[in-house]
Chain A
Amino acid sequence: RKEVEQDPGPFNVPEGATVAFNCTYSNSASQSFFWYRQDCRKEPKLLMSVYSSGNEDGRFTAQLNRASQYISLLIRDSKLSDSATYLCVVQSNDYKLSFGAGTTVTVRA
């Protein structure tokens, strides 16, 4: 079983739409959780950390369900600039990051 699994998409949505997607992780001892975004051939950039109680950063909302071992990301009022690959990232107690393969989101005008 892969450490981190994501729906690869692509999710093609119009501007202003809401898009949501999940990932699952296999290591129940995982400590920290993140969403990074990656633009084509660029480095991963931290979008937000994910906390147990769920958290929001502007138009982005992340949820964590430790019992079911899944993490979600919701983007409201999508912008063209939100087009990217979203990486679900899990950190274990040895501090290394395990990446999902990414979910591709394309926002169209």
Chain B
Amino acid sequence: EPEVTQTPSHQVTQMGQEVILRCVPISNHLYFYWYRQILGQKVEFLVSFYNNEISEKSEIFDDQFSVERPDGSNFTLKIRSTKLEDSAMYFCASSEMAAEAVDTQYFGPGTRLTVL
């Protein structure tokens, strides 16, 4: 069964450093997403991406964040200058965006980001 993959599984970084989190969505999917979950809290939407551009972003997704689809398979989230409060699990998701069906999003296993 096709699945979303993410690397690395765990990233430790120093405050102020840049990190890039990588995702490979399911191959025939057209919509891509990033969510985050701070330990003990709910999953929060960050950004959605379609047709090589951001379609929606939340208040969390400020100028420190950017997304990119550098090639036909990868989808990346970059945090330019990490803060302690960026420590969280970051989930990538993708969906097929079938026009007449409920659009189900499938999640990757996540990258645990720890900012020291």
Residues of A within 8 A of B (CB): 32, 34, 41-46, 49, 87, 91, 94-102
CA of A46 to CA of B103, assembled, Å: 12
Contact yes or no, B56 A95, CB < 8 A: yes
Chain A residues, Cβ within 8 Å of B41: 101
Interface residues of B (CB under 8 A from A): 31, 33, 35, 41-45, 48, 55-56, 58, 89, 91, 93, 95, 97, 102-110, 112
Known: A43-B107, A43-B110, A49-B104. A95 touches B48 (CB 8 A): yes
23 A-B contacts, Cβ less than 8 Å apart? A32-B102, A34-B104, A41-B89, A41-B112, A42-B110, A43-B107, A43-B108, A44-B107, A46-B105, A49-B104, A87-B42, A91-B103, A94-B48, A94-B55, A95-B55, A95-B56, A95-B97, A95-B103, A96-B58, A99-B42, A100-B42, A101-B41, A102-B42
State which of A42, A95, A102 has its C-beta within 8 Å of the C-beta of B31.
Answer: A95
Contacts of A95 in B (CB 8 A): 31, 48, 55-56, 95, 97, 103
Top 8 nearest A-B pairs by Cβ distance?
A: A43-B107, A99-B43, A101-B42, A96-B45, A94-B56, A99-B42, A49-B102, A32-B102
